[in-house]
Amino acid sequence: MSSTLLSVRDLKVGYGGALAVRGVSFDVPQGAIVALVGSNGAGKTTTVQCVAGALRPAGGTIRFDDREVGGLDCSDVVEAGITLVPEGRLVFPQMSVLDNLRMGGLNRRATPNIERNLARVFTLFPRLAERREQLGGSMSGGEQQMLAIARGLMAEPRLMILDEPSLGLMPLLVTELFRLIRELNRSGITILLVEQNVRQSLQIADQALVLEKGSVVLSGSGRELLESPFVRKAFLGI
């Protein structure tokens, strides 16, 4: 890990006049895995959707590679090097695996490298290679999650945001998913992870933050938060 890749300062996001995110600040170092954890409604998804351009901030700054990206359209954020793999996977159900993947590579930076990137994701996900002609909507939940992550990789991200990637997966697949996240990180992709599986998230996270009611209430290394009495009581049942 070295310089700061993403810097969020005093971020505020509102819905219908009420703030859902209240002055959140954090950094994501280049090459790190940073986890955002918290209960439902804590503001985790709202925060990362704002970083990804799906929502507009009501205040604060979002700087990526020392460039302000807060308030940019999603397409411009992707061009800058940030990709969001959204909660619920959201694959295109009536499109083949191959066409889903090609859709992920439709930005100016990645389009010239579509064939190279396809080869890369098929190496990472051999099952997708085997099922490249299968419709996305006919795949299992675990396979759709693989497809959603692979589609995100097609955009050549420097920062990949994963929003609840283990949601609805069987325990064996959850273990495989976290192994994959570590592998992606080792390949050079910085990861911002939103995940309700707190224990496994903190085990792989270099840094982590706990959000409550739209505010950061605790931060530190993943190991430090695993040992925090607050985290152990609130999320680990210890």
When pLDDT is averaged across residues 139-149 and rounded to a whole number, the result is 88
Residue 14 lies inside a defined structural domain of this protein: no
Average pLDDT in the chain: 91
Which one-letter amino acid corresponds to residue 179? Answer: R
CATH of the domain at 179: 3.40.50.300
Cα distances (angstroms) measured from residue 177 to each of 18, 59, 222: 35, 34, 18
Provide the number of structural domains found in the chain.
Answer: 2
CA angle 195, 196, 202 (to 5 degrees): 65
Clarify whether residues 119 and 92 are in a common domain.
Answer: yes
Provide the pLDDT for residue 112: 86
Provide the pLDDT for residue 16: 77
> How sure is the predictor about 40, in pLDDT bands with cuts at 50, 70 and 90?
confident
Residue 35 lies inside a defined structural domain of this protein: no
- Which of 14-18, 19-23, 172-176 bottoms out in mean pLDDT, i.e. has the lowest? 14-18
Which one-letter amino acid corresponds to residue 177? Answer: L
pTM of this structure: 0.92
Residue 69 lies inside a defined structural domain of this protein: no
Clarify whether residues 80 and 188 are in a common domain.
Answer: yes
Clarify whether residues 192 and 88 are in a common domain.
Answer: yes
Clarify whether residues 80 and 145 are in a common domain.
Answer: yes
Range of the domain at 209: 198-238
The DSSP result for 7-40, as a single string, is EEEEEEEEETTEEEEEEEEEEEETT-EEEEE-ST
